Structure 1
Amino acid sequence: MSSPSPASPRTPARRRRPAWAGRNYTLLTGAAVVTNLGSHGALIAAAFAVMEAGGSGGDVGLVAAARTLPLVLFLLIGGALADRLPRHRVMVAANALNCLSQAAFAVLVLAGDPQLWQMMLLTALCGTGTAFFNPAAEGMLLSTVSGEHANRAFALFRMAMNGAGIGGAALGGAMIAAIGPGWVLAVDAAAFAIAGALRAFLDVGHVPDRAPGGGLLADLREGWVEVRTRPWLWSIVLQFSVVVAVVGAAEAVYGPLVARDRLGGPAPWGLALACFGVGTIAGAVLMMAWKPRRLLLVGTLCVFPLALPSAGLAVPLPVWGLCLVMFVSGGAIEVFGVNWMTTMHQEIPEEKFSRVSAYDWFGSVSMLPLATAVAGPAEAAFGRTEALWGCAALVVLATAAVLLIPDVRHLTRRAKESGPRPAPWGSAPDPAPQTPARLDAPA
């Protein structure tokens, strides 16, 4: 009688991924890797496309503002729709819009002589896609893991995503220096097309039908109640409305200008952004093993280092020094990010998560268009160095204020789920369970 084959029950095949990393988690992680490879380089490319067309620092800020303004306008609608429609369809449609807008931007730049209004319009379309994508994406990701594995799953996802950002930023900066920003924008368009195709294969057969709501406004009111009754949530959203605004202005406007004038061009700035990505990977590796009990206290303390890049640009530090502070800030914000996602997974009901996530995103980016738009005038009025020091000070002040909220200091990780939580869809071994699992995890 022949010996058992390696795939027989006596010698099961070795698993290539953890048991909790099912099909949907794997597809979502792969798609995030692809989009981050393209988008990190594209952000740099957009700024240098404006400057190569003769634009000023104020013009760079206007294009950056055009990308973020649609987030403010459409995020809440996107969150409500994601809690009503199949989330994967919202994600694929948003990826398609991002692909088309970035492809048109690439053609415009490669053809030569792009106009400011054209670049603003196309980046605004890309921002619109992001507004509908983000709430749906967070709901999808968090619903693929159980509470027991949430911390590790979120850390691994963010490590893969940010690892792709390292390559994207470094490669994007090098490509801009070698062949120009237009081709980097074209790569970003292709990345959105590939990611949309991956997300189209998500398995949603076990997702229970959503109960009919009372209309879009009623859905938004329900989401608002979830936010305003949780002091830890609304206070951190307010904090990040300031932090995201000033950090975004520093990195989208002042960073490329300092790189052009003091660091030697786009390649060193791309390297600094890549070091930020390396830091996020280090932070994610740490969070794979570390489960702090006071989730939000630890996370909030790790927001203070986000002041370092603005301060480093204000000095300005040499390239190696800027890379060091970017690494530290990347690791620190990753600790915050994993703790934040774990807190949301623990505290927010799944059926309301996309709406709550939309309010989170809305509050966080609400001041970003204004900050990027006024970055140029602020530089003219006060000087670039003074504006950068102001950015650093605002990060410190907003973060210190959040620590005054008792819930931020005292909210703790629960050792076990407060109620029974079935195995997440997309990772259960039986592809056709009798009763669909409740999607009770944020994304």
Structure 2
Amino acid sequence: MRRGRCRARSASGPPRPRPDVKTSRPTSAGPATPPARCGCSRPPAGTATCCANRMSPAWPTAWRAPCPPCDEPAVPRPDGRGTAPCDPTIESIPMQTTESALPPKRPALWRDRRFLWLCAAWFCSILGQQTALIALPWLVLQLGGDGLALGLIVTAMELPRAVFIIVGGAVADRHSPRRVFQCSLLCCAALLAALGLATHGGGLPLALLYPFAAAMGVIAAFTGPSAAALLPNTVPEAQLQQANSCFMAVNQLTLLAGPALAGALIAMPGVRAGDGLGLAFLLGAACFLAGSLLLTRLPVSRPADAPPRQSAAGILRAIGRGAAWTWGDATLRALFFYWAVIAFLTAGPIQIGLPLLVRDALRLDAGHFGTLLSSQAAGSLLGMALLAALPARALGRLGWMVFCVDGLMGALIIGLGLSGDFVASSAMMCLIGLLGGLVQVRLMAWIQSRIPSDMRGRVMSFLMFMMAAVTPLSTTLAGLILASAPVRGLYAGAGLALMAIAVLALSSARLRGIGAPEKTGDVRPVHSLQTGD
């Protein structure tokens, strides 16, 4: 007899029954007893396959006990009744399998039509947003505004967004996130079309940009939370990280194409400056309209565990429950406060300082401004590709990774402000995007998996609220600084502060432990998440 091999019968004759091993033959009294796993690591000569790890339900033969004598130790029985030692006298019997016994197979994301329609709508909406973000600062500068005027315009956009964003999250949870997202895209398309026509006609005063920016901010308060809640409601939780990776890749593709396209339209040779800006705004309106039409392909659905619809008066109670849950998660609370500080340090230099850096320090036009932002997007795509290629162990713990990356970004921001060469500036923007791409997918998937499905809109709106609340302060402060100091000094101060905050975050054991397995006592009960009791 060969060791490590399975055989159905012993050479001495028919199989002998064992008193300590129950057979798996079906009887009239009931179904068969679950068979024990095979202890051998080599396949038999017959049709069955033995494996010391587990028994697949797809095998045509199940083994009631381990195979003939081998060096493998006894293994536990699936029914929990001790172990089944190796015995050459125990035979195998056929086991019929059905489709219901097999685990359900999830279709690949690229075959999921709902996910594909959502990706297409997301691509169009982000492309419209990027064209507007490139054209609006250049329009302010063209109309005679300085750094302070640009800061006030951005403040007029971000302040209403900060005020209404929590309401937008509650509305996204109370109604369909798809409908809220679709209506907000239609409103954005209407506003950008009106601004594009006014810019193309000429004679647009700078004062009219303030109410326009405020209206865009109110709409953005509903766009962000509804989009953040729509993706987890579209794909299964097991595919959430892969879906986030695809969304981040689509986002970076639009960041790569949108700024370059808008900058090329604005700086188009032989075209009046106002006409180029008008075309950029009209392109953004068309993108928002296309995204809204693509969302009609998604059915209006709500999560299976979502609470019943509330009355209008219950929105405040829903916001209160979401705030209580967010505040009760100490790790998430600390991370949200950290992000708010990072947004305060980076919003002003990027949104206010970068256009002035391109125009005043580098002496370049809107096309080069768009190229810098496209370089950052190209680096983000490369970072996401590296994240998909590298094993999880090579990336280390998520907390350490996030804060070390932020420290390196601070050093790159300092170098960006001191650089006088466009190629070097593009390279540093590419590195900033690469570092951001390495952490965005992992961190967003960790946050979304931590939040219950019926509260994702509200909790994500709290994060957006904190970032939106500090952005007007950052842009206003940046405008005041630029009124009396050079733009290079703004970048140097922001980079040094970012490095200091990252070092302080690394000194916190709670923040360093982000991504580590949680202890049993740290898991919060699920029933309190949905009822708020």
**Aligned partners of 1:294 and 1:411 also within 8 Å:** yes
Provide, for residues 159-188 of structure 1, a one-character-per-residue CA deviation record: whole Å limited to 9, x for no partner. Answer: 122112101111111111114222111100
Superposition pairs for residues 318-337 of structure 1, below 5 Å? 318-337=421-440
Matching residue of 1:360: 463
Which is further off, 403-412 or 271-280?
403-412
In structure 2, which of residues 364, 384, 389 is the aligned counterpart of residue 284 of structure 1? 384
**Aligned partners of 1:40 and 1:165 also within 8 Å:** yes
Matching residue of 2:329: 230
Following the alignment from structure 1 to structure 2, what is the Cα–Cα distance between the partners of residues 404 and 75? 32
* TM-score, with structure 1 as normaliser: 0.85
Q: Sort the Cα spacing of 1:203 and 1:297 in 2 relative to 1 into closer, same or farther, 3 A.
A: farther
**Aligned partners of 1:150 and 1:342 also within 8 Å:** yes
**Aligned partners of 1:102 and 1:122 also within 8 Å:** no
In structure 2, which of residues 298, 310, 317 is the aligned counterpart of residue 218 of structure 1? 317
Matching residue of 1:203: 299
Matching residue of 1:175: 265
Q: Is the partner of 1:307 in helix, strand or coil? A: helix
**Aligned partners of 2:356 and 2:487 also within 8 Å:** no
**Aligned partners of 1:309 and 1:322 also within 8 Å:** no
Q: Is the partner of 1:107 in helix, strand or coil? A: helix
Instruction: Look at both structures and tell me which one has the larger radius of gyration over its CA atoms.
Output: 2
Matching residue of 2:146: 56
Matching residue of 1:404: 507
**Aligned partners of 2:125 and 2:185 also within 8 Å:** no
Aligned residue pairs, count: 402
1:200 Cα deviation from its structure 2 partner = 2.3
1:77 Cα deviation from its structure 2 partner = 0.3
Superposition pairs for residues 228-377 of structure 1, below 5 Å? 228-263=327-362, 264-290=364-390, 291=392, 292=395, 294-308=397-411, 310-377=413-480
Structure 1 residue 39 corresponds to structure 2 residue 129: yes
Q: Sort the Cα spacing of 1:383 and 1:224 in 2 relative to 1 into closer, same or farther, 3 A.
A: same
Matching residue of 1:131: 221
Q: Which amino acid aligns with 1:310?
A: I
Provide, for residues 337-378 of structure 1, a one-character-per-residue CA deviation record: whole Å limited to 9, x for no partner. Answer: 212211112211010111000001111221111211232221
**Aligned partners of 2:109 and 2:243 also within 8 Å:** no
Matching residue of 1:121: 211
**Aligned partners of 2:179 and 2:300 also within 8 Å:** no
**Aligned partners of 1:312 and 1:321 also within 8 Å:** no
Following the alignment from structure 2 to structure 1, what is the Cα–Cα distance between the partners of residues 517 and 267? 49
In structure 2, which of residues 249, 252, 257 is the aligned counterpart of residue 162 of structure 1? 252
Q: Which amino acid aligns with 1:70?
A: P
Following the alignment from structure 1 to structure 2, what is the Cα–Cα distance between the partners of residues 257 and 341? 32
**Aligned partners of 1:166 and 1:275 also within 8 Å:** yes
In structure 2, which of residues 284, 289, 301 is the aligned counterpart of residue 193 of structure 1? 289
**Aligned partners of 1:68 and 1:368 also within 8 Å:** yes
In structure 2, which of residues 162, 178, 186 is the aligned counterpart of residue 72 of structure 1? 162
Q: Which amino acid aligns with 1:279?
A: G
Following the alignment from structure 2 to structure 1, what is the Cα–Cα distance between the partners of residues 357 and 485? 16
Matching residue of 1:427: none
Q: Is the partner of 2:124 in helix, strand or coil? A: helix
Following the alignment from structure 2 to structure 1, what is the Cα–Cα distance between the partners of residues 254 and 168? 26
Provide, for residues 36-59 of structure 1, a one-character-per-residue CA deviation record: whole Å limited to 9, x for no partner. Answer: 223223212111111111111211
Following the alignment from structure 1 to structure 2, what is the Cα–Cα distance between the partners of residues 202 and 293? 37
Q: Sort the Cα spacing of 1:259 and 1:318 in 2 relative to 1 into closer, same or farther, 3 A.
A: same
**Aligned partners of 1:151 and 1:288 also within 8 Å:** no
Following the alignment from structure 2 to structure 1, what is the Cα–Cα distance between the partners of residues 450 and 492? 36
**Aligned partners of 1:239 and 1:399 also within 8 Å:** no
* TM-score, with structure 2 as normaliser: 0.71
Moved over 6 A (4+): none
Which is further off, 253-262 or 107-116?
107-116
1:21 Cα deviation from its structure 2 partner = 5.4
Q: Which amino acid aligns with 2:386?
A: L
**Aligned partners of 1:47 and 1:60 also within 8 Å:** yes
Provide, for residues 169-228 of structure 1, a one-character-per-residue CA deviation record: whole Å limited to 9, x for no partner. Answer: 111111111142221111001111110111122123574463245712211111112221
Identity among equivalent pairs (%) = 24
Q: Which amino acid aligns with 2:198?
A: L
In structure 2, which of residues 476, 482, 493 is the aligned counterpart of residue 379 of structure 1? 482
Following the alignment from structure 2 to structure 1, what is the Cα–Cα distance between the partners of residues 334 and 389? 28
Matching residue of 1:25: 115
Which is further off, 194-203 or 310-319?
310-319
Which is further off, 75-84 or 305-314?
305-314
Q: Which amino acid aligns with 2:437?
A: E
Q: Is the partner of 1:143 in helix, strand or coil? A: helix
Matching residue of 1:12: none
1:244 Cα deviation from its structure 2 partner = 1.8
Q: Which amino acid aligns with 2:374?
A: A
